[in-house]
Amino acid sequence: MSVGLIPARSVRERLLSLPSIDPLIKAAEATGSKGMLDEAMLDLLLVQKEEAVIGRTIAPIAEPELVVPARIHNLDHYRIEDFPMEARDVDSEITVHFDITGNSVTEGKKEDIQACFNDRLKQIRRLIIDGKLPNRPIAINEAVRQRKQLTGRDNSFTIIGLVKESNTTKNGHLRFTIEDATSEVRCMLMQRDEEGPNQEIVHAGLMDDDVIGVTGNFNQDGGTIFVDDIHFPPLKQHKRRTAGSDQAVSAAFISDLHLGSKTFLEPQWQKMMKWFNEDPLAKTIRYLVISGDGVDGVGIYPNQDKHLNIPDLFNQYSRLGTMLQELPDWVEVLLLPGNHDAVRPAEPQPALDPELQTDYNNTMFVGNPCDFSLHGVRVLSYHGVSIMDFVASLRTVTFETPEAAMRAMLDRRHLAPSWGGKTPLSPEPEDRLVIQEIPDIFVTGHVHGHHTETYKGVNLVHSSTWQDQTDYQRMLGFQPKPCILTVVNLHTHAMAAIPFV
Q: How far is the CB of 159 from Fe ion (least distance, A)?
A: 37
List the one residue out of 437, 246, 243, 428 whose CA is nearest residue 350: 428
**Residue among 154 and 305 whose Cβ is closer to Fe ion:** 305
Q: Phi-psi category of 446—alpha, beta or left, where left has phi over 0 and alpha has psi -120 to 50? A: left
Minimum gap (Å) between residue 32 Cβ and Fe ion: 23
What is the distance of C-alpha 313 from the center of its chain?
Answer: 26
Nearer to Fe ion, 41 or 259 (CB): 259
Q: Give the C-alpha separation, 330 to 286, whole Å.
A: 6
The answer to whether 391 and 399 are in contact (CB under 8 A) is yes
Cβ neighbours of 479 (radius 10 Å): 19
Q: How far is the CB of 11 from Fe ion (least distance, A)?
A: 25
| Shortest CB 277 distance to Fe ion, Å | 26
Closest approach of Fe ion to the CB of residue 355, in Å: 22
3-class DSSP assignment, residue 9: helix
Give the nearest distance from C-beta 239 to Fe ion in angstroms: 32
Shortest Å, Cβ 382 to Fe ion: 11
Residue 488 near residue 381 (C-beta atoms within 8 A)? no
Q: How far is the CB of 42 from Fe ion (least distance, A)?
A: 21
Closer CB to Fe ion, residue 455 or residue 472? 472
Nearer to Fe ion, 297 or 439 (CB): 297
- Of 432 and 446, which has the nearer Cβ to Fe ion? 446
Identity of the residue, 339 or 452, whose beta carbon is nearer to Fe ion in the bound complex:
339
Site residues (vs Fe ion, CB under 5 A)? 256, 293, 338-339, 446
Three-state SS sequence of 462-484: ECCCCECCCHHHHHHCCCCCCCE
Pick 256 or 347: Cβ nearer Fe ion: 256
Fill in the amino acid letter for 121: L
Compute φ and ψ for 272, nearest 5 degrees: -70, -40
Residue placing its CB nearer to Fe ion in the complex, 215 or 349? 349
Interatomic CA distance for residues 48 and 238, integer angstroms: 38
Closer Cβ to Fe ion, 208 or 296, answer by number: 296
Burial (CB count within 10 angstroms: exposed 0-12, middle 13-18, buried 19+), residue 406: buried
Query: Using CA atoms, how far apart are residues 442 and 433, in angstroms rounded to an integer?
Result: 13
Rounded least distance, CB 278 to Fe ion, Å: 28
Rounded distance, CA 110 to CA 101, Å? 22
Across the chain, how many H-helices and E-strands are there?
A: 11, 19
| Burial tier of 124 (Cβ tally within 10 Å: 0-12, 13-18, 19+) | buried
